[in-house]
Amino acid sequence: MADYLLLLLGMGLVTYVPRWLPLHYLSRRSLPEWFIQWLDLIPPAILSALLLPALTLDGDTGHLDLLRPELWVALPTFGFAWWTRSLGGTVVVGMLLFWLAGKVSPMWFAWL
Amino acid sequence: MIPTSFAVRSTTLKEGLNAGWPICLGYLPIGMAFGVLAQKAGLTPLQIGLMSIMVFAGSAQFIAVAMLAGGIGGRFIPEGALGIDYALIAMFICLLIYQIRKLIHLLTAVMAGLTAVILALIIPGNTHIVIASIAAATVGVMIQRKVMRRNPDNG
């Protein structure tokens, strides 16, 4: 247990300090305008860079797969988020649609 | 302390709770998945709770549990029922929507996403996320400044 607590302390430090340091130092300093513009674009860039590969690449093989339910469920989920701006609602709707997508068999669309 | 400070603090607390609850909801399934996995890996409920209190991270906890369970490295993504796998993705979708306030945000997001997909196909690991984000934000600032110089009124 002592070893484990030491491990948690270490994990706590390396996950907390990098979050706290920039917040602490940058919040009381005036930054150049281009840097503020750059920082303003980082959140949409990171979120999109995290999301799009997760939606379009197969988790096991890493190959491009545009037929994944993750990608198709994302479209109505994006729409729901855009119109409602509700985080809680989007999470619930996304989970529900993904669960439903898992129930739908591709064979149902064989007649198409 | 001025007499109004309690009222001010109480409204601040309320605003914080209002802003925070959806994120808690978004993390609830992930927290449950983490609890199940950590217990399977041999941690006691006390140890699991302590980690969630002391460690300010989500993925790092899953990695730690995977490493404690013996297999160092390797991906450890829980398979869940009821669309649990999609909770974090849906949360990111909504957070991304929140970030799209102007055309330049949309443009940067599209550039970052496409670059990340292409890079992920070429380079192993997770570096594609950082490289694509920095590149897209940099190009985004360059575009923004060019447009602003041309017509400073509608930047």
Q: What is the DSSP string of B77-141?
A: PPP-STTGGGHHHHHHHHHHHHH--SHHHHHHHHHHHHHHHHHHHHS-SSHHHHHHHHHHHHHHH
Q: Are both A68 and A46 inside the same structural domain?
A: yes
* A60 part of a folded domain: yes
Contact A95 B116 (CB under 8 A): no
Same domain, A17 and A35: no
Query: Quick one: closest CA in B to A43, which residue?
Result: B99
Contact A95 B56 (CB under 8 A): no
- Residue A7 to residue B64, Cβ atoms within 8 A: yes
A111 domain-assigned: no
Task: Check residue B112 and give its pLDDT.
Answer: 97
Report the chain A residue with the minimal C-alpha distance to residue B80.
A99
In terms of domains, do A19 and A71 share one?
A: no
| Average pLDDT taken over every residue of chain A | 88
Residue A88 lies in a domain: yes
Do A58 and A94 belong to one domain? yes
Based on the fold, state whether residues A21 and A34 are members of the same structural domain: no
Predicted pLDDT of residue A80: 97
Contact B93 A74 (CB under 8 A): yes
A21 and A40 in one domain? no
Q: Is residue A20 part of a domain?
A: yes
Range of the domain at A69: 30-105
Query: What is the reported pLDDT for B69?
Result: 74
- List the one residue out of A67, A71, A69 whose CA is nearest residue A100: A69
Q: Is residue A112 part of a domain?
A: no
Tell me: do A2 and A15 sit in the same domain. Answer: yes
Amino acid at A45: A
Question: How many interchain CB pairs under 8 A, A with B?
Answer: 195
Predicted pLDDT of residue B77:
44
A13 and A50 fall within a common domain = no
Which segment of A44-58, B26-40, B43-57, B123-137 scores lowest on mean pLDDT? Answer: B26-40
Q: pLDDT grade, residue B124 (50/70/90)?
A: confident
Same domain, A82 and A36: yes
**Window from A24-33, A77-86, B21-30, B114-123 with minimum mean pLDDT:** B21-30
pLDDT digits (tens, 9 = 90+) for B34-91: 888 888 888 899 999 999 998 887 777 877 887 787 644 444 444 555 567 788 788 8
Look up the ipTM and state it.
0.79
Weakest-pLDDT range from A5-19, A30-44, A48-62, B81-95: B81-95
Task: Tally the domains of chain A.
Answer: 2
Please report which confidence band the pLDDT of residue B96 belongs to, taking 50, 70 and 90 as the band edges. Answer: very high
* Token code pair at residue B59: 């993925």
- A57 lies in some domain: yes
Judge if A51 and A88 occupy the same domain. Answer: yes
**Chain B residue with minimal CA distance to A4?**
B47
Are A20 and A68 in a shared domain?
no
Interface contact flag, B22 A87, Cβ < 8 Å:
yes
The DSSP H or E segment spanning A14 is helix A2-26
Cβ atoms B99, A78 nearer than 8 A: no
A80 and A44 in a common domain = yes
Q: Which pLDDT belongs to residue B2?
A: 53
pLDDT in tens, B20-36: 887 787 777 778 878 88
pLDDT score at B74: 42
In a domain, A36, yes or no: yes
* Residue numbers of B between 22 and 81 with CB closer than 8 Å to A: 22-23, 25-26, 29, 47, 50-51, 54-57, 60-61, 64, 75, 77, 81
Q: How many CB atoms lie within 10 A of CB A43?
A: 18
